[in-house]
Structure 1
Amino acid sequence: MPRDATATRNRIVKTASRLFYGKGIRAVSMDAVAERTGVTKKTLYYHFRSKDDLVTAYLASRDQPNIDLFAKWYAQAEGPLPERIRAIFENIAAGAANRRWKGCGFLRTAAELVETPGHPAVRQASLHKKRLEAWLAEVIAVEHPDQARQLARHVLLLLDGAFSTMLVHHDTAYVLSAGDAAAALLRQPL
C-alpha cells in the first residue's frame, strides 16, 4: 500500500476509534466516519470493505497499545507482585475518573455484537483478552510458575468485572476493590 494510502487508512482508523469508543459502534455510521475523517465514502470503502472490517480494525489498533499500557503501569509500580498488579487497577481507576472514560472498548463492542458471536470484531476482542491473559500469566509466573495461568485468568476476571461494574455504577471504588482482591489472591495463591 502506498505511503499516502497507509496514512489515510491510519487516519480513518484513528477517527473511527474515537467515534466508536465515544458513542458505540452501532451509533456511528460509515457516513459519520467519512465526514469526520474528511474522506469520501468511496475512499472509506476502498480501505474497508464494510463497517464490520472497520470495527475489527478499530479493535486491532487498540490491542497492543492496551497491553503496553498495562505493562507500563506494572513496570512503574513498586513492591512485590501483588502490589504491582494492584497498581494496574489503581491506574484504571484514575482513568475512569475522567468523564470521557467509557470502559473497555473490547467488552463494549462484544456486548453490542452479542447476537453475532462469530463476528470478526468479537474474535478480535477475544484475541485481545487472551493476549492480556497471557501477558498476566507471564508476569505472575515469576513468583507462581505452577499457578500462573489459573491466577492470570482470575485477575483477568477481576479486571473485566471491574470494567463492567464501573459502567453500571460510575464509582471507582469498585475498581480499587477488585485491585485489592487481585492483590490478596496473589499473596495467598490457590
Structure 2
Amino acid sequence: MTKIAPETSQDIPEHHRPYGPGPRAAERIFDTARELFYREGIRAVGVDEIVTKAGVTKPSLYRSFKSKDDLVAAVLREVELGFWDRFEAAEAAFPGDAKAQMVGYFEGLAARSGGADYRGCALSNAVVEYPDRDHVGRAVSQAHKQELRDRLRAKAEQMGASDPKALGDAMMLLIEGVFTSSQMFEDDDKPALAVVGAVKALIEVYCR
C-alpha cells in the first residue's frame, strides 16, 4: 500500500495557509482586523472571524496581542498616525499659510469622503461604539480628538481669527460632520462636497 505523504505548509496554497506565529502572523492579524473593524464595526467583529479571515490560529493572535482590546488599541493608534500624516501633508504644502493649509486639508477630506467604501473616521466611530470612557478604544480616540481640537484652535490663532477657539471648534464640527454625513448619503449627493466652501466662508467671517 502506497503511503501518502502528509500535506506540508509548502503544499498549501498561500491564500489557504495558516500563518505561523511571529511577525508575519502579527501583520496578517493586524491588517485583517483593521479592514474588518472599519468595514463592519469593532464590536461586530469577533476574534474568531479575525483569525479565520487572516488565515492564522487563535493562539497566534494571543501571542501577538494580549486581547481583542489590545488589538483594537493598536489599530486605532495606526489610524491616528495616518490622520496626522494627511493633516501635516496639507501643512507642508503651504508653509506659513494657516488659511491655505486648512483649505487644503478640507479639499483632501472632501475628495476622500466620496469613495464608495468610505465609512468616515475609525476614531470617531470608535467613540460611538464605546460609551465607556475607560475603554481603551474610547481613550485612544478621545485623546486624538482632543489633540485635533487643540491643533485646529492653534491654526485659527495663526490665521489671526477674532475668536480662535470658536473658529477652531467650528472647523472641528465641519470635519466630524463630513465623517458622519458621508455614511448617510449617496456618493454623488453628499453634503460633504460642500465642506470646502463652508470652511472658506467660516475663515472669512472670523478673519476679517
Alpha carbons 1:15, 1:33 under 8 Å: kept: yes
Question: Who wins on radius of gyration, i.e. which is larger?
Answer: 2
Instruction: Give me the CA root mean square deviation.
Output: 2.7
Question: Per the alignment, do residues 9 and 131 of structure 1 end up closer, same or farther by CA in structure 2, a change over 3 Å counting?
Answer: farther
Paired residue for 1:157, among 169, 173, 178? 173
Tell me what 1:70 maps to.
87
User: For residues 19-75 of structure 1, what are the alpha-carbon distances to aligned partners after superposition, in whole Å with 9 as ceiling and x for unaligned?
Assistant: 111111122221121223232101111222222221121111111211111221343
State the identity as a percent: 29
What amino acid sits opposite 2:206 in the alignment? Answer: P
Tell me what 1:127 maps to.
143
Alpha carbons 1:89, 1:175 under 8 Å: kept: no
Question: Per the alignment, do residues 78 and 94 of structure 1 end up closer, same or farther by CA in structure 2, a change over 3 Å counting?
Answer: farther
User: For residues 77-99 of structure 1, what are the alpha-carbon distances to aligned partners after superposition, in whole Å with 9 as ceiling and x for unaligned?
Assistant: 69954443233222222222221
Is 1:13 equivalent to 2:13 in the alignment? no
Higher relative contact order (CA 8 A, sep 6+): 1
Question: Per the alignment, do residues 11 and 150 of structure 1 end up closer, same or farther by CA in structure 2, a change over 3 Å counting?
Answer: farther
Name structure 1 gaps, 5 residues minimum.
none
What amino acid sits opposite 2:202 in the alignment? Answer: L
Tell me what 2:121 maps to.
104
Name structure 2 gaps, 5 residues minimum.
1-20
Q: SS state of the match for residue 72, structure 1?
A: helix
Question: Per the alignment, do residues 132 and 170 of structure 1 end up closer, same or farther by CA in structure 2, a change over 3 Å counting?
Answer: farther
Q: TM-score, normalised by structure 2?
A: 0.76
Residues 146-185 of structure 1 aligned to structure 2 (within 5 Å): 147-171=163-187, 173-185=190-202
After the TM superposition, which of the residue ranges 41-50 and 75-84 deviates more from structure 2?
75-84
Q: Tell me, in whole angstroms, the C-alpha distance in 2 between the residues paired with 1:53 and 1:61.
A: 13
